[in-house]
Structure 1
Amino acid sequence: MAFIRKYDKPQKNEDLVNERIRFREVRVVDNHGEQVGTMSSREAQAKANEAGLDLVCVAPKAKPPVCRIMDYGKYRFEQQKKAREMRKNSKAVSLKETQLSPTIDVHDKNVKLKRTLKWLESGDKVKIAVRFRGRQMAHIDIGQKILDDFVAECADYCVIEKPAKLEGRTLTAVLAPKKSKK
């Protein structure tokens, strides 16, 4: 009984390289980017060995599969470098929350407004929530007015992604930062 070791099995994201290419016929592209033609995978492997490079399958789903003669180590390095750049350049947009109440005072509202504008300028989305407690549910219109005023003061820095909506005892709206034109 033969045991299959973990490193004998091909991984899902592993490239087809050299002896791992098991197709009968492949279309070959040389290291200068010129098409050599269609040939058996053994012949293609022999050509790659002559050039001192690797045979890498770049399009396994094509008919016939496309293989390229290249330096595989350099190719992997370039792929990892591109992936690092993509991760570095991508910015996760977080959702911050500002909580208001229907009885908020002017100064408290201004403090929360200043903090919200800072978040919008840094590129974060902001969820504005007006929470109603107890008998305040009878005066939702007051909370709606406070939310509308707050959003109007933020209008220069944001766009309304989700307009005000009452969900249970909370009136919420979501603001997204304006795209800066460079």
Structure 2
Amino acid sequence: MALRRPPRVRSRVPEEPYRINERITAKEVRLVGDNIEIGIYETSKARAIAESQSLDLVEIAPTAVPPVCKVVDYSKFKYEQKKKQKEIKAKAQKVVIKEIRFGPNTDDHDFEFKVKHATNFLKEGSKVKAYVHFVGRTIVFKERGVNLLNRFSEALTDFGKLEMEPKLEGKRMTIILAPLPPKK
């Protein structure tokens, strides 16, 4: 019986998102940065300018003609980019969906109570998913569910807009309401 060697594990260094210094392959580049005369230079001359300031030449727009390069400290540049990405991610809104459940025979008082809750949810900026849950033979009364959900969406027209029409999925008929954008 032959012995098998364990497979080789290659340590893979993550590839840099930007080309720097010697990795820039273009003949000419548009040079930008602090304390630099903006213009088009040969890559070797641009690299020399960066080295004279003991900084790096970083290709920031490789698809431009000619490519745009910036004279900057590369580690500081990477830190700034990472910081910008975190900021963008933090500003992105997280969508919260609140659910409200009805039965096909929901009474008027319960309906008003749930409309009041939905109004508060929409004012907070959350989406509202309202559904009618059909139990047992109540599935026969689908039109009651449609009527109830349409009445619900009409009661909330001042606070939210209908995002999804009443849709039956199994034993649930669902609608989704999104909050209206704040008025300026």
Q: Report the TM-score, using the length of structure 2 for normalisation.
A: 0.80
Q: Within 5 Å, give how 1:163-178 maps onto structure 2.
A: 163-178=165-180
Does the 8 A contact of 1:17 with 1:54 survive in 2? yes
Distance 2:133 2:10 in 1: 60
Does the 8 A contact of 1:26 with 1:66 survive in 2? no
**Structure 1 residues without counterparts, runs of 5 or longer:** none
- In the alignment, is residue 6 of structure 1 matched against residue 6 of structure 2? no
Distance 1:103 1:65 in 2: 67
Distance 1:147 1:155 in 2: 12
**Selected match of 1:38 from 38, 41, 44:** 41
Q: Within 5 Å, give how 1:84-103 maps onto structure 2.
A: 84-103=86-105
Task: Output the amino acid matched with 2:167.
Answer: K
Query: Following TM superposition, by how much is the alpha carbon of 1:111 offset from its aligned partner in structure 2, in angstroms?
Result: 3.2
Query: Following TM superposition, by how much is the alpha carbon of 1:5 offset from its aligned partner in structure 2, in angstroms?
Result: 5.2
Q: How many residues are aligned here?
A: 175
Q: 142-151 or 85-94, which moves further after superposition?
A: 142-151
Does the 8 A contact of 1:160 with 1:175 survive in 2? yes
Residue identity (%): 34
**Selected match of 2:27 from 12, 20, 25:** 25
Distance 1:160 1:30 in 2: 49
**Structure 2 residues without counterparts, runs of 5 or longer:** 1-8
Task: Output the amino acid matched with 2:52.
Answer: E
Post-superposition Cα deviations, 1:71-109, rounded to whole Å, max 9, x if no partner, equal 333322332232122112111112222111112233333
Tell me, what secondary structure is at the counterpart of 2:93? coil
Distance 2:110 2:10 in 1: 67
Does the 8 A contact of 2:30 with 2:41 survive in 1? yes
RMSD: 2.5
CA change 1:4–1:43 in 2 (3 A) is farther
